[in-house]
Chain A
Amino acid sequence: MATSTTWLLRPLQERSTQLFLGILTAALAVVTILHLAMPEDSALHVSAYTVTLLGKYLCYALLAVAVDLVWGYLGILSLGHGAFFALGGYAMGMYLMRQIGDRGTYGDPVLPDFMVFLNWDSLPWYWHGFDMAWFAFAMVLLVPGALAFVFGYLAFRSRVTGVYLSIITQALTFALMLAFFRNEMGFGGNNGLTDFRDILGFNLRTDATRLGLFIATGIALAIGYVICRGIVTSKLGRVSIACRDAEARTRFLGYRVERVQLFVFVVSAMLAGVAGALYVPQVGIINPSEFSPLFSIEVVVWVALGGRATLYGAVIGALLVNYAKTVFTGVMPDAWLFALGGLFVLVTVFLPKGIAGLLQKRRKAPEKDRSNPQEATA
């Protein structure tokens, strides 16, 4: 029994993880103190808006960590992780919708506003249970996990990998986006789910709840990071890296490659679901655009910029790109797509190891090139 938890504790003894957790804790503490202790007119005061914005970035960071787990350590470029993120978000959104109760515009105690608007007379079966927090939170993990399990089981069993897998993950999220746009699906169609009131009894519109969500997201990111780090440093993680570099060889050595792939893929999807669930109450809306292939592929470029297969690089990339996005779309919205497109090209051509690669290069001599022809063609 003792060994069952050691994989989770091992990362805590690593210097890199300690450093990451230290910086994260310090950042959370500083933001909290600046928000609470500084007077509102002070230049150092962090407004509730900024706290929520930072919380949103942290959700993205957790999503990026999830993508890095499969892309960096398993060699699977998922262009559909936005789907898991959005599913987690929808599960949370459904809980929040049910929490509105009779305070909606139409005052129906059970049906959410959009259902009343569409003349539905009863709740669809899949909406039942979402009034209970424990059930909804379980679904945040289970729905993305189940989809990843079914999809991964089929795909890995038939040895669909590489580019093919990327393209069908993209098709998956595209199909889901089209589906969620339909009013008949019962998820609010085009408008999605919005107008939330409170979560676990706390009013979502108060600064205290927002700060609480921000801290919760930080903690989730820390836990997610430790879990990923634990997986990566375990024996399973080694096998997963072996799959990435030489799938056929690993299989010939007797490892059940598809099981390793499936496990890591499902864990990653669940992490993405959690990120989505934390994202929704902070942003206040979830709609089908989160399923768009563009969003999923954007996540990949965060990871690429930060540095693939480092985990902390994914966090850095997510924070940097999203900060840039906030600045750009505010100052010159037209230029953002140019900048993002340019980032895709520059990072892949000139910075194959991302920012993390630059940091490592300064510290030690470059290690062996990780790009391997096997990885491309297997």
Chain B
Amino acid sequence: MSIIRRSLTSLLIALACLVSVPAMAQEDPGKALLVNLAEAPSSRVEEAINAIVDSGDERARGWLEAYGNNRLSRIKDTGQVVLVLNNRGRDWEIADPLTGENLGEMSRRKLDRVAINNAIRGKLEGIMAMLDLNAADPDVREASARDMMGKVDAALVAPLEARLEKEESAAVRDRIEAALAIYRVEQGDIEAVEVLAGSLHSRARAALNNAAASDNSQLAEAANKALASIEQKLKLNKAAETLYFGLSMGSVLVLAAIGLAITFGVMGVINMAHGELIMLGAYTTWGVQQLLPGQPGLALLLSIPAGFLVAAIAGIIIERSVIQHLKGRPLETLLATFGISLILQQLVRTVISPQNRTVVTPEWMSGSLVINDALSLTLNRLYVMAFALIVFAALMMIMRRTRLGLDVRAVTQNRAMARSMGIKATKVDILTFALGSGVAGLAGVALSQLTNVGPNLGQNYIIDSFMVVVFGGVGNLWGTLIAGLSLGTINQLLEPWAGAVLAKIIVLVFIILFIQKRPKGLFPQKGRAAEN
């Protein structure tokens, strides 16, 4: 209901702007048209509607939409036709359909709804679609032509053909042609089958399926041929979709694992609390959104630095308080950081809530990128993918091109030598760990857009993250990238025939066996760094 209301209001605002002051001086022709509609007996309603359409009035679509939604009423006393903005409660909020002016509230007893029957309502859809087909915006025209597919009847053929003559946009032309072809195939026209052969729209396929089952053997044969070529195309699109989901899942894995690739891969510190640092990043996003209600987009952008900072500071605290005391004892580090992960989880449960929190997806990230009728890519995953690549590139730059990166590599290769060259090893440790933890926080910010934000968020990713790092080869950022993307893709490829859980099990077993075969991962380190 609220959507209808919003679209009505915005329509009214547009109307108000359109109507110029001089036009107000004389009688508005729209008024007569509406009164005509309201007064018409049911046999002549169609005529009244056509009169409105033929008038070419820009407000016509809004009127008809309101009519179809039962939002057109007459004031009993004056006979004035009004738009009903809100029909809940005893008093209805009404507006002038001619100017869009809000007329305040009126008791519903004083209003008389302009009646509509179902036969008219059914036709109204097609009529409004025709109106949209004449809209200035080609996107509106295309959407309306798409809606028409499978709804074309004998009465619409002529106006559609007329529209086709005038149409300039190729995309809209294709749609209109397809809509007409569906009608013609239903009528037994073999040539029209050709037009539908390339279409991926489900209604086109439905029409072809019907034709394939028809008694006309020639038609059935042509339809079957067209269907086969569509099947082929669909398969390709399906494969592209699987690849997209695989890469998307892979980029999530890369994001989750890349911080670990720094702390575990480069520094050799086993941080089992890595998953909880991801969780902290996700909760930071939620927190920033709570601070900035109504601005989810801005909040999300702000949570990128905020998530990094929160996780990095948490990382520094963990490093200073626990990990530095366990240098050279990786198994003990593993246990201690696991303890920290338990504490962090319980902390979130106690302080915030054991329930999941919802993080709002800003408008520019929701929706999807429509490639064709069979393939649409969800935008949020696309953004996360891009984000993962940016984070990866930034980390690569830091490790390769900055002083910090040089120091880190020096300290990890030969700590004693690095220190004797004047590098402050302790400081490098802290900064590296903070960097790895901060990246975990970034992963959390991204994940908050894809999954539930809850205390168990981190746990779900810790084993996967370790698997990615180990599979890719410890100490190798490129390995992590390739391992993450390929594991995500493999998982998605397996899912259709194995199911989600079994696919995950297969991937885990695969990695376990792979590590037996190549204990150093896909891309083992070579040279001095590999010796210990």
Is the A/B pair a real complex? yes
* B contacts, CB < 8 Å to A: 270, 322, 325-326, 328-336, 338-343, 345-347, 349-350, 463, 466-467, 470, 501-502, 504-505, 508-509, 511-513, 515-517, 519, 532
Residues 224-258 (chain A) with a chain B CB within 8 angstroms: none
A334 to B346, CA, bound (A): 7
Measured between beta carbons, the chain A residues less than 8 angstroms from B516 are 154-155, 157-158, 160
Q: Which of B336, B338, B346, B349 has its CB near the most chain A CB atoms (within 10 A)?
A: B338
Measured between beta carbons, the chain B residues less than 8 angstroms from A334 are 346, 349-350
Q: Are the C-beta atoms of A373 and B328 separated by less than 8 Å?
A: yes
Q: Are the C-beta atoms of B341 and A341 separated by less than 8 Å?
A: yes
Q: Which of A157, A338, A371 has its CB near the most chain B CB atoms (within 10 A)?
A: A338
Q: Are the C-beta atoms of B334 and A377 separated by less than 8 Å?
A: no
Measured between beta carbons, the chain A residues less than 8 angstroms from B328 are 371, 373, 376
In the A-B complex, the 9 residue pairs with the smallest Cβ-Cβ separation, listed nearest first, are A344-B339, A341-B342, A341-B343, A337-B346, A154-B516, A175-B508, A341-B339, A348-B336, A348-B332
A181 to B501, CA, bound (A): 9
A349 to B325, CA, bound (A): 7
Mark the stretch among A29-37, A107-115, A116-124, A161-169 that contacts chain B.
Answer: A161-169
Smallest CB gap from A338: residue in B = B346
A135 to B39, CA, bound (A): 89
Mark the stretch among A82-90, A296-304, A360-368 that contacts chain B.
Answer: A296-304
Contacts A334-B349, A352-B332 known; list 15 others, CB within 8 Å: A77-B334, A151-B512, A160-B515, A166-B334, A168-B470, A168-B512, A172-B512, A182-B501, A182-B502, A300-B335, A340-B339, A341-B343, A344-B339, A371-B329, A376-B330
Q: Are the C-beta atoms of B505 and A179 separated by less than 8 Å?
A: yes
Choose from A162, A344, A347 the contact partner of B330 (Cβ within 8 Å).
Answer: A162
A233 to B341, CA, bound (A): 37
- Report if A99 contacts B (CB, 8 A): no
* A contacts, CB < 8 Å to B: 77, 151, 154-155, 157-160, 162-164, 166-168, 170-172, 174-175, 178-179, 181-182, 293, 297, 300-301, 304, 334, 337-338, 340-345, 347-349, 352, 371, 373, 376-377
Closest approach, in angstroms, between the C-beta of B334 and any C-beta of chain A?
Answer: 6
Q: Tell whether A301 pairs with B335 under 8 Å between CB atoms, given A337-B342, A373-B328.
A: yes
Measured between beta carbons, the chain A residues less than 8 angstroms from B326 are 348-349
Q: Are the C-beta atoms of A174 and B463 separated by less than 8 Å?
A: yes
A106 to B486, CA, bound (A): 47
Measured between beta carbons, the chain B residues less than 8 angstroms from A345 are 322, 336, 339-340, 343
A342 to B431, CA, bound (A): 25
Choose from A151, A167, A179, A344 the contact partner of B466 (Cβ within 8 Å).
Answer: A167
Measured between beta carbons, the chain B residues less than 8 angstroms from A376 are 328-331
Q: Are the C-beta atoms of A344 and B336 separated by less than 8 Å?
A: yes
Q: Tell whether A341 pairs with B504 under 8 Å between CB atoms, given A158-B516, A162-B330, A164-B519.
A: no
Q: Are the C-beta atoms of A304 and B501 separated by less than 8 Å?
A: no
Measured between beta carbons, the chain B residues less than 8 angstroms from A343 are 339
Q: Are the C-beta atoms of B515 and A178 separated by less than 8 Å?
A: no
- Selected A-B contacts with CB under 8 Å, 7 pairs: A160-B515, A162-B330, A171-B467, A172-B508, A175-B505, A341-B340, A376-B328
Closest approach, in angstroms, between the C-beta of A354 and any C-beta of chain B?
Answer: 12
Smallest CB gap from B354: residue in A = A334
Choose from B322, B329, B343, B502 the contact partner of A337 (Cβ within 8 Å).
Answer: B343
Q: Are the C-beta atoms of A348 and B335 separated by less than 8 Å?
A: yes
A337 to B508, CA, bound (A): 28
SS class, residues of chain B in contact with chain A = helix
A155 to B512, CA, bound (A): 9
Measured between beta carbons, the chain B residues less than 8 angstroms from A77 are 331, 334
A303 to B341, CA, bound (A): 19
Smallest CB gap from B466: residue in A = A167
Closest approach, in angstroms, between the C-beta of B460 and any C-beta of chain A?
Answer: 11
Measured between beta carbons, the chain A residues less than 8 angstroms from B329 are 348, 352, 371, 376
Measured between beta carbons, the chain A residues less than 8 angstroms from B509 are 175
Measured between beta carbons, the chain A residues less than 8 angstroms from B339 are 301, 340-345, 348
Closest approach, in angstroms, between the C-beta of B347 and any C-beta of chain A?
Answer: 8
Measured between beta carbons, the chain B residues less than 8 angstroms from A352 are 329, 332
Closest approach, in angstroms, between the C-beta of B66 and any C-beta of chain A?
Answer: 52
Q: Are the C-beta atoms of B346 and A341 separated by less than 8 Å?
A: yes
A155 to B514, CA, bound (A): 10
A340 to B335, CA, bound (A): 11
A174 to B505, CA, bound (A): 9
A342 to B463, CA, bound (A): 22
Choose from A297, A300, A337 the contact partner of B345 (Cβ within 8 Å).
Answer: A337
A73 to B189, CA, bound (A): 83
Measured between beta carbons, the chain A residues less than 8 angstroms from B346 are 334, 337-338, 341
Closest approach, in angstroms, between the C-beta of A58 and any C-beta of chain B?
Answer: 24
Measured between beta carbons, the chain A residues less than 8 angstroms from B350 are 334
A182 to B513, CA, bound (A): 22
Choose from A158, A167, A338 the contact partner of B470 (Cβ within 8 Å).
Answer: A167
Closest approach, in angstroms, between the C-beta of A357 and any C-beta of chain B?
Answer: 13
Closest approach, in angstroms, between the C-beta of B320 and any C-beta of chain A?
Answer: 12
Q: Are the C-beta atoms of A163 and B334 separated by less than 8 Å?
A: yes
Measured between beta carbons, the chain B residues less than 8 angstroms from A159 are 519
Smallest CB gap from A162: residue in B = B330
A377 to B519, CA, bound (A): 14
Measured between beta carbons, the chain B residues less than 8 angstroms from A337 are 342-343, 345-346
Smallest CB gap from B349: residue in A = A334
Measured between beta carbons, the chain B residues less than 8 angstroms from A297 are 335, 338
Q: Are the C-beta atoms of B508 and A171 separated by less than 8 Å?
A: yes
Q: Are the C-beta atoms of B504 and A178 separated by less than 8 Å?
A: yes
A247 to B145, CA, bound (A): 74
Q: Tell whether A170 pairs with B322 under 8 Å between CB atoms, given A338-B343, A342-B343, A345-B336.
A: no
Smallest CB gap from A171: residue in B = B508
Q: Are the C-beta atoms of A162 and B513 separated by less than 8 Å?
A: no
Measured between beta carbons, the chain A residues less than 8 angstroms from B511 are 168, 171
A343 to B338, CA, bound (A): 10
Measured between beta carbons, the chain A residues less than 8 angstroms from B515 are 158, 160, 164, 168
Q: Are the C-beta atoms of A171 and B343 separated by less than 8 Å?
A: no
A166 to B333, CA, bound (A): 12
Closest approach, in angstroms, between the C-beta of A180 and any C-beta of chain B?
Answer: 10
A338 to B516, CA, bound (A): 36
Q: Which of B333, B335, B502 has its CB near the most chain A CB atoms (within 10 A)?
A: B335
Closest approach, in angstroms, between the C-beta of B467 and any C-beta of chain A?
Answer: 6
Measured between beta carbons, the chain A residues less than 8 angstroms from B342 are 337-338, 340-341, 344
Closest approach, in angstroms, between the C-beta of A232 and any C-beta of chain B?
Answer: 19
Choose from B343, B470, B508, B513 the contact partner of A174 (Cβ within 8 Å).
Answer: B508
Smallest CB gap from A301: residue in B = B335
Q: Which of B332, B342, B350 has its CB near the most chain A CB atoms (within 10 A)?
A: B342
A301 to B467, CA, bound (A): 23
Measured between beta carbons, the chain A residues less than 8 angstroms from B332 are 348, 352
